[in-house]
Amino acid sequence: MFVGQSPHSMKIKKLIREVAKTNDNSLLTGEVGSGKQHAAREIHNRSKQKNRPFVVLNCTAVGDTITETDILGHVSEGNLGVERKIGILEQAHKGILYLENVQDLPPGFQQKLFNIITEGRFQKPGEKKFIQVTLRIFSATTDLELSKRESFRKDLLSLLNPFVIPIPKLSERKQDIPLLFTHFLEQYCQEYDKELPAVPAELFESMMEYHWRGNVQELKNAIRNLVLMSPEGSLSVEFLPFEVKHHPYENLVGKELPDAISEVEGYLIKRALSRFAGNQTKAAHALNVSEAALRYKMKKYGLTRKAF
């Protein structure tokens, strides 16, 4: 389930529903951690391929830790006879092949993939016959201008992007943060067999103001750490990746009432004078006091006109 009720998320959900009705390939774009694979899996779960595999190929690793044999498989003669290895493409047959970081796919394999998609078949190393393969491909990229990359084949891109699904960064859909927080909190409490904890009142305001450069993945990791590290029955905000913004009146706790009132009163007068560039008439009106009363209090708290 793609979690969120912001206008951005409602648009994504609509795209997911519509794309799931087709057999077309799709290209998902967005920053690292924004939720591209999650959206792709949601399409898969709603599609005709829902009972078939969802196989991930990290294109950044192709040619390094992922070899052509890993992708295509191979046939070889062994001590026990012919040995056959099933590669990633065969695993994804009639299901979904998810190309993560497709912008990093090496040029040599771009050509191979183009041929495989257009012909619907490929050869394993060590075998002469062709293997038929039916693939629906979901590709994900952090490069929002992939079409302008000279190193990426335009003909391949045209096969991969009949539908483009942009996933905005979390800072553009902050309305989703409370829902995502609740979703991940329940998920990890269930996973680690913990009771749902009490949530500190000041937590959400700080979470809404934090930038979340790692997007949904960073939020998910932060909540996992909270669940794992906090004492049973409560969330300890010290394990968050940012400093929690405390309630503005928290520093008044323990003070005598007259001192607390004076501190709040002085603060509000400063704010009003600053807002109106030192104009006492406007500040007094905003505070609903007379100008004489305002001037008295300014003198009491040592506030001068020059300061504003």
CATH number, domain containing residue 291 = 1.10.10.60
Q: Are residues 15 and 147 in the same domain?
A: yes
Q: Are residues 141 and 192 in the same domain?
A: no
Q: Are residues 147 and 162 in the same domain?
A: yes
| H runs (alpha helix) in 120-241 | 154-160, 177-191, 203-209, 215-229
Structural domain for 231, as ranges:
171-239
Strand (E) or helix (H) holding 139: strand 136-141
Q: Which of 145, 168, 191 is the last residue of a domain?
A: 168
pTM surpassing 0.85? no
d(CA 122, CA 236): 54
> How many domains does one find in the chain?
3
| Four-residue CA torsion sign, 187, 193, 196, 199 | negative
Q: Are residues 202 and 291 in the same domain?
A: no
Token reading at 123 = 């050869």
**Which CATH number do you get for residue 204?**
1.10.8.60
Interhelix angle 257-275/280-287, rounded to 10 degrees, is 130
Q: Are residues 220 and 73 in the same domain?
A: no
The closest of 140, 87, 143 to 116, measured between CA atoms, is 87
Q: Which of 146, 168, 190 is the last residue of a domain?
A: 168
Contact assessment for residue 71 and residue 87, using Cβ atoms and an 8 Å cutoff: yes
Q: Are residues 88 and 234 in the same domain?
A: no
**Which CATH number do you get for residue 13?**
3.40.50.300
CA dihedral 115, 89, 57, 113 (to 10 degrees): 0
pLDDT tens for the 308 residues of the chain, in order: 899 999 999 999 999 999 999 999 999 999 999 999 999 999 999 999 999 999 999 999 999 999 999 999 988 776 676 778 899 999 999 999 999 999 999 999 999 999 999 999 999 888 888 999 999 999 999 998 999 999 999 999 999 999 999 999 999 999 999 999 999 999 999 999 998 988 877 777 778 888 899 999 999 999 999 899 888 878 877 778 776 655 556 666 677 888 778 888 887 888 888 878 788 998 889 889 899 998 998 888 888 766 66
The owner of tokens 């929690």 is 244
Q: Are residues 163 and 204 in the same domain?
A: no
| In a domain? residue 267 | yes
d(CA 220, CA 201): 19
